[in-house]
A and B are shown apart, each in its own frame.
Chain A
Amino acid sequence: MVLPMIVALSRDAIAIVPHDQFEGALSVGATKWQVLRKVVLPGARTGIVGAVTLATARALGETVAVAMVIGLNPLFPPSLFSTASTLASTIALQFQDATPLQVAALGALAVILMTLTAIVNWFGRRLVRGAAFRAGVV
């Protein structure tokens, strides 16, 4: 689900690298791939890292799609292939029949989730905005 987001944001990060530099590298006899590897991608690096960070923040908060397939495992999953829980999916699946104590516990989970996504989002946005700023776009 986060793949399209990464594609779109990375595309923006790469498009922001000035065309001038692309031409400058070509003008000394570089091939397209050489230009991409040594000039464009290093230039887009910050933006791409920002893109991945933002996508991670989104993934952390993804609730329903995860809840439908992950099951509900209160224990630490022994392997990647066993049932597990995420913050969001646990809240989603347990809230309905929760006792007041459980509701309070789920509330605590919600606070953790909120803080976590807020921090990761903040980082991601700073990176993306920093890259855009340096390229003179923002």
Chain B
Amino acid sequence: MKRRSFLLAGLLALLSASALADDALLKEIAARVADSPVLRAEFSQTKTLAAMRKPFRIAGHFTYARDAGVLWQVASPYAVSYLIDAHGTMEIGPDGQRKTRSGREAAGAAQAGQIMQALLSADLAPLESHFVLDPARVPDGWQVTLTPRSAEVARHLTHITVAGNTAVEQVNIVETGGDHTEIRFTAIQRDTQLNDAETALLARPD
């Protein structure tokens, strides 16, 4: 993340209400992932890379606050937190120290943050100008496949799938070289407001 995300620079989401997809299923999905102000879950992420002998796993706690952004708290194998919102991504070390980044890096991170927010809230319509969205019903919910529209993104990314029922339960990111990342969400809880610790973490100093 401490890098310019060339792929994501091309993925910048258009989070505008006017760009609503007309696809009824997408609307239904967005509606189904109920509109709670706060969503909490445990996550586990598995990266499978050709360069690695075994998959790389991390796990931790995920908090989505509709008005403030996403808090991504990794617990194992080491402790670190990321604050993701429309302004960008900020890393918060185990000691609570926040790391700011240069304007250029922040711009890339902001785009990435917006995409993550769209993915994790299942509000996918804004991503339509960058991906071909292919929603489908599956036995216990729905699944949307996102295929990149632009050649530059397609060089690195084959597709993304988002699946769930009343919340996003799984995100799969498949890269062109065969590497892929799977994120699973469990113990999903809804709430109306953040607790004090979360509010403090989500607050931007600037």
**Same assembly:** no
By a beta-carbon cutoff of 8 Å, the part of chain B in contact with chain A is none
By a beta-carbon cutoff of 8 Å, the part of chain A in contact with chain B is none
